[in-house]
Structure 1
Amino acid sequence: MTDLIRSCRRISSLAAPVNRGRRRVLLALGAATLAPTLAWLPRNARAASTTSVIEGRNRWLYPGWESLTVDAMPNCLKALDLIHLATQKLEARGIRCLVMIAPLKARSAAANLPDGTTLSDAVQERYAAIRAHGQSIGLPIIDGDAALATLATDQHAFLRADYHWTAHSAEAFATRAAAQFIKVGVTKGAPGEGEKLGVWNTEVHYGDLAELLPPDRKKAIGKDHFVIRTVVPATALLDSAPPLVQVVGNSMVQPYLGFPQKLSNLLERQVGLTWTFGDTGPWKTLLNYLEGPDFAAHPPQALVWQFNEGQMMNLPSASGMWDASSVMADDAWLARVTKVTGG
């Protein structure tokens, strides 16, 4: 246990898992408390009925609170512009920024949507439109479709009855992120400081979407196979050095799914992590890191900021979409970023 806690002391904040497998990992990492089972849900979905879960073919489940017809692009574009303003302030401090957006499960794993269910053209094209706008304003966004295209034919992009992408998808995104950082020269530090990757292992338990169903439907849907890597304890040398790259995001980048470990391994550098569940939101999560002691003491050379496509339209002021303590006026949010970055 001591070795496991030591191996992840560089992770800036941890939130609780939604199943026993993830709970075991976080306990091993020294998490003091466990959040409610469904704390990862967007606030507008947590109180929803089971109709918020779409049952597809072959026992696949999809989050019904993410619209399959309304793209909400005007608000998505506003969010991208606000993200750009924040990353410009970080870039002025010499911190390279990279935005990573987890794609909509219903688009990336559309093969098992219910018969007759399709995405509107606008939603189908939204991810590409977001990346195109980012490119037009100079905001680097990982090409998620290209990342998922690298998966082997027997590897799913998303978990069958869970909201989250698979560990293979997390590693595919980490590979794209590492390549972009290497391309722009984020390689200072001694080689060999990256995390070692464990062997692949399978855990069987209910996905978080299945947990939302009535007992009879949950039993019918059945448990998922979570293919994850075993934890490899870090050495004392790695334990003592501050991270050169920081990842900020939600449960898609939690250690259980392996994104920060893969990024660290490929960069051969230490990677820090600040993550919270979906009801906190990406805006407050970034503030949690920037206003914390780690950023003040050891600003990173690079930062990955992770979002979900299905929540891209929700700005800091989106009342009812985030936990009440996370909601604030958009300009107030930017003012706090400006203050802590000196921008």
Structure 2
Amino acid sequence: MMLRPFSRRTLIAATLALGAGLGAGPAFAQGPSIITGKDGWLFPGWESLTVLNRAAIGANITLLQDAKTALATRGTTLMVMVVPLKASFYKEKLPDGTTISADVAGQYDLILDQLKKAGIDTVDLRAALKGVQTGRQTSFYRADYHWTAWASEAAADAVAQAIKAKVAKLAGSPPGEKLGEWVTQRHLGDLAQRFLTPDQQKQIGPDLYTVRTPQAAKSSLVDGGPAPVHVVGNSFVQPYLGFPQKLSNALDRPVSLTWNPGNVGPWATFLQYVGSPDFAKSPPQVLVWQFNEGPFHSGPQATDQWDAPSIMAPQAWRDRMLAAVRR
């Protein structure tokens, strides 16, 4: 469960895993799997650009509110982090005739507003992500589902500021993670690798991935004791893209991590962590739970998004969550 920094030897393996579509999409995507835009830009077809499911979003907010209340009994603050739609940052790259509806254009604001009304801490990441767009730097990779390492680190800075504003004093001792130097690699984006034919892949070509080189291996980021902040999420917060390391660096405290590929889903991943001995023994002060805007409406029962082992009724998820957190 604890984050273990990548060694230099495993950096290439992580690159290949990301390029192979690690966490790129749902188990059974409805409709087109991919939207081919202009200038080689690709977008996930399983994220609707036209339909806003208000009722499902509201139902999931209720589940999150239950989790927030349960975590508070263990002294843990829940902070929900929602990654915005890639398409909302690159509307001009969508194919002619493909637009984002007014409802979906307001979806991110709706999600944040409902979280705040439910008393759940959250962070608006849009300004941070837009702030990295300069020169050749982008917020998302061209032919990949994921945000770039620049965007990942900017998001981590924004979350760190929110944590500092919420928690007067973080437990644990400095230092936080030391960041490595930047290195640039070339490989196919996961959307291109998963969904395009070999000929189409040649036409799209590889993307440039500028990421941090890992620091010298150590046993874990939490050698000095339990981390005061734990991150739960999908491949957007995996170490390869640098989110947990940058969050640790910005907080000057250890940060631990539980993540799975996106097809596992956030609900099952959350249960995996709160059901672990690490949580039972030493609950963190802050639990950062990462979601993506596109499938935010998908609850634990969403068979069109998550693999079969992850599927459960919302009430079953709530019961398992309460049993795990309160034990």
TM-score over 0.5 for the pair: yes
Q: Which amino acid aligns with 1:56?
A: G
Q: Indicate the residue corresponding to 2:27 in structure 1.
A: 43
2:13 paired residue number:
24
- Give yes or no for contact 2:78–2:286 (8 Å, CA) kept in 1: yes
Unaligned runs of 5+ residues in structure 1 are 1-8, 15-19, 28-33
Q: What's the offset of the Cα at 1:328?
A: 0.7
Name 1:213's counterpart in structure 2.
Answer: 196
Matched, 1:277 2:266: no
Q: Secondary structure at 1:170's aligned position in 2?
A: helix
Match of 2:231 among 244, 247, 258: 247
Tell me the distance in 2 between the aligned counterparts of 1:114 and 1:36: 23
Query: Of the candidates 2, 10, 13, which is equivalent to residue 10 of structure 1?
Result: 2
Q: State the AA in 1 paired with 2:163.
A: F
1:230–1:278 Cα change, 3 Å: same
Cα shift at 1:10 = 3.1
Question: What per-residue deviation string (whole Å, max 9, x for no partner) do you get for residues 101-152 of structure 1?
Answer: 1111111222211123210000111001111111112111210212223224
SS of 2:87's equivalent? helix
Closer, same or farther in 2 for the Cα pair 1:215/1:199, shift >3 Å?
same
> What is the distance in 1 between the residues matched to 2:192 and 2:321?
38
Letter in 1 for 2:39: N
> What letter corresponds to residue 214 of structure 1 in structure 2?
T
CA contact (8 A) 1:98 1:303 kept: yes
Aligned match of 1:195 in 167, 177, 191?
A: 177
Structure 2 residue matching 1:322: 3-state secondary structure: coil
Does the C-alpha gap of structure 1 residues 210 and 282 become closer, same or farther in structure 2, counting only changes over 3 Å?
same
Which 5+ residue runs of structure 2 have no aligned equivalent?
none
The range that moved more, 322-331 or 102-111, is 102-111
One-letter code of the match for 2:297? M
Cα root mean square deviation, aligned:
2.6
| Counterparts in 2 of 1:238 and 1:141: CA distance versus 1, 3 Å | closer
Equivalent position of 1:66 in the other structure: 47
The one-letter code sitting in structure 2 at the alignment partner of 1:72 is N
Q: For 1:125-140, what aligned pairs fall within 5 Å after superposition?
A: 125-140=106-121
Cα displacement string for residues 44-81 of structure 1 (whole angstroms, at most 9, x for unaligned residues): 23xx79x4221111111111121111111221121112
Q: Which residue does 2:128 correspond to in 1?
A: 147
d(CA) in 2 for partners of 1:146 and 1:186? 25
Partner of 1:204, secondary structure, is: strand
The equivalent of 1:263 in structure 2 is 247
CA distance in 2: counterparts of 1:216 and 1:235, whole angstroms:
42
Report if aligned partners of 2:141, 2:148 keep a CA contact under 8 Å in 1: yes
Deviations 1:8-42 (A, max 9, x none): x831899xxxxx98652489xxxxxx899445221
**Relative contact order higher in (CA < 8 Å, ≥ 6 apart):** 2
Q: Is the 8 A contact 2:18 2:190 kept in 1?
A: no
Whether contact under 8 Å (2:19, 2:189) holds in the other structure is: no
Deviation of the 1:252 alpha carbon: 0.4
Report deviation, 1:192.
2.7
Greater shift, 253-262 or 226-235, is seen at 226-235
Distance 1:178 1:119, change over 3 A: same
Find the aligned partners of 1:195 and 1:320 in 2 and give their Cα distance: 37
Q: Does residue 99 in structure 1 map to residue 80 in structure 2? A: yes
- 2:149 aligned to which of 167, 170, 194: 167
Matching residue of 1:4: none
Q: Deviations over 1:177-223 (max 9, x none)?
A: 10111112264345532000111111100000111201111100000
Percent identical residues: 44
Aligned letter for 1:319?
T
- Between the aligned partners of 2:181 and 2:307, the Cα distance in structure 1 is 37
Structure 1 residues 238-289: Cα deviation after superposition (integer angstroms, max 9, x where no partner): 5352221100000000000000000000111110010001111000000000
Deviation at 1:43, TM superposition (A): 1.1
Aligned residues: 321
- Pair 1:55 & 2:36 matched: yes
Matching residue of 1:116: 97
CA distance in 2, matches of 1:54, 1:251: 21
Per the alignment, residue 208 of structure 2 pairs with 225
Answering whether residue 285 of structure 2 is matched by residue 293 of structure 1, we say no
In 1: Cα distance, 2:20 partner to 2:133 partner: 31
Report the AA paired with residue 239 of structure 1. D
Distance in 2 separating the partners of 1:168 and 1:183: 23
**CA distance 1:310–1:183, shift in 2 (3 Å):** same
Is 1:338 the equivalent of 2:327? no
